[in-house]
Amino acid sequence: MLKPLVPTLGLSLLLVLLWLYWDQVRTWSVKASSQANETLQAKPALAFQPANVKAFRIRNGQKQFIAARMNEDRTWLLEIPFRAPADAYAVESALSILSSVKTLRPVAGEAASLTDFGLQEPQIFIELEEAAGQRWLAVGKASPRGDGYYARSSQGDQVVLVTQKDIRLLPQTPGELLDLRVVPLVQDPLHTIEVTQGGNSFRLQATTDGWAILKPLRTRADRHVMSEWLYRLTALRAGKVYPKEPLDGGSEEPSRLGAIRLSAGNVSQSVEFFRTGRTVLARRSDHPTLWYELAGQDASVLLPDMFSLRDKHLITEIEPRSVMALEIQHHGRVVRLVRLGAGWALNSLPLSSDRAQSVERWLTDLNLFQWSEPLGDPARCGILGESRWQVSLRGRDGQTVGRLQIARTTLCGDVGTTTRGDPVKLGDTRLIEQLPID
């Protein structure tokens, strides 16, 4: 009875084996297709290392052409449409974007010729120069679905579809690659700065704790004011950069405002500033054929006068908490204040909390106080007989850390001397009015 069933069972077993085999083949085919697509999607449209690029050219249709080349010191120079320093970060960013452009899928066979893909005269054509040779990428029309652009490269003749967003991030104008810094050397460790404005000039030199004015007089520069000025120069960027064209008969030469000369190590750089109408123009000594346009800039910020940079504190480098004793001489009388822990004693007698706080406030005001203008001869001001005070400040070791004189006059208002002994106008009455004496 089993003999008639043997062929049926054999056929059934064969069908099962065939189904299992086909299912396995289909699984392998799907995996292989998926892996092929993943490989294709991960493939860059133009394989290269941005760090190996020495020069590149970008043609945007027939309208614009950009060319840049790396100098021996690894800075970048824009060569076309005019020679100008290029922003290294902008160049590296553009090359990085180009290296990340990916192939979406091949499109060979979808059309008959390069013209149909817009590749006979590409919208964008990019050439790269490396030590090993040249590479190029041609970008044509957008695909009908709008998800990419047709492209072809030096890697092969096949037309492919590349990612649209990365192509749109590539630089479209030379201005996107320009170095817009007006005073680039200010970012280096400077040792001297010379400022010229009109017929006046002064020189600054870096010190271990700030800056000093060397010429025309030797004095300290205000550390905070100098930091603010140098920060402004560091952040100064041009709105436009363009070649300096020869003037025609009806054009006026921009009027010169002044110049800054900076030195760092063995390198020096000068920047001249000009005005034409409401626009300030800058010209760098390393690229004298270019104008750097600075719309709306205040010339006094770019070219400060010596007085604005000068340290105008009556006392310098003295923290109120470091003052342990304060002596005030007035008309033959000496008032001696001594710090006692968190309080003060006047002629060995402890002061009340309110009076001790008034001494601290006065020391703080003295530390922050700035004079208004230098004074030539104090004698001409008519110092009032009993309106003169001599102040001495002593530190923790009992040594004098500061000494100054302040006085009231009939012609110059309140005057005083700095810790260096320079006579100055105080420009404020509170320092004398709030002296911590009876």
> What local confidence, expressed as pLDDT, does residue 18 receive?
58
Inform me whether the pLDDT recorded for 39 exceeds 70: no
Q: Which of 24-28, 224-228, 267-271 has the lowest mean pLDDT?
A: 24-28
Instruction: Give me the amino acid identity at 62.
Output: Q
Inform me whether the pLDDT recorded for 399 exceeds 60: yes
> What local confidence, expressed as pLDDT, does residue 64 receive?
67
Inform me whether the pLDDT recorded for 229 exceeds 90: yes
Instruction: Give me the amino acid identity at 376.
Output: G
DSSP 48-117: --GGGEEEEEEEETTTEEEEEEE-TTS-EEEEESS-EEEPHHHHHHHHHHHHT-BEEEE-TTSSSSGGGG
CB burial of 333-348 (b: ≥16 within 10 Å; e: otherwise) equals eebebbbeeebbebee
Span 328-347, mean pLDDT? 89
> What local confidence, expressed as pLDDT, does residue 2 receive?
43
> What local confidence, expressed as pLDDT, does residue 78 receive?
93
CA distances from 375 to 197, 291, 388 (A): 24, 42, 16
Q: What is the pLDDT of residues 183-223, one digit of tens each?
A: 998 888 999 999 999 888 999 999 998 999 998 888 889 99
Backbone angles phi, psi at 272, to 5 degrees: -100, 145
Span 214-243, mean pLDDT? 90
Distance CA 250, CA 235 (A): 35
Dihedral-angle region of residue 23 (phi above 0 means left; psi in -120 to 50 means alpha; beta otherwise): alpha
> What local confidence, expressed as pLDDT, does residue 121 receive?
86
Residue percentage of the chain with pLDDT more than 90: 38
> What local confidence, expressed as pLDDT, does residue 120 receive?
84
Q: What is the pLDDT of residues 89-115, one digit of tens each?
A: 999 999 999 998 888 888 865 445 788
Q: What is the pLDDT of residues 252-279, one digit of tens each?
A: 788 999 999 999 999 999 999 998 888 8
Span 110-121, mean pLDDT? 74
The SS3 of residue 419 is coil
Contact 33, 25 (CB under 8 A): no
Distance CA 111, CA 338 (A): 96
C-alpha R_g of the chain: 38
Q: What is the pLDDT of residues 352-384, one digit of tens each?
A: 999 999 999 999 999 889 999 888 888 888 887
Span 277-298, mean pLDDT? 87
Average pLDDT, the chain: 84
Tokens 């010379």 found at: 194
> What local confidence, expressed as pLDDT, does residue 285 receive?
92
Q: What is the pLDDT of residues 130-185, one digit of tens each?
A: 988 899 999 988 888 877 899 888 888 888 888 888 888 988 888 889 999 999 98
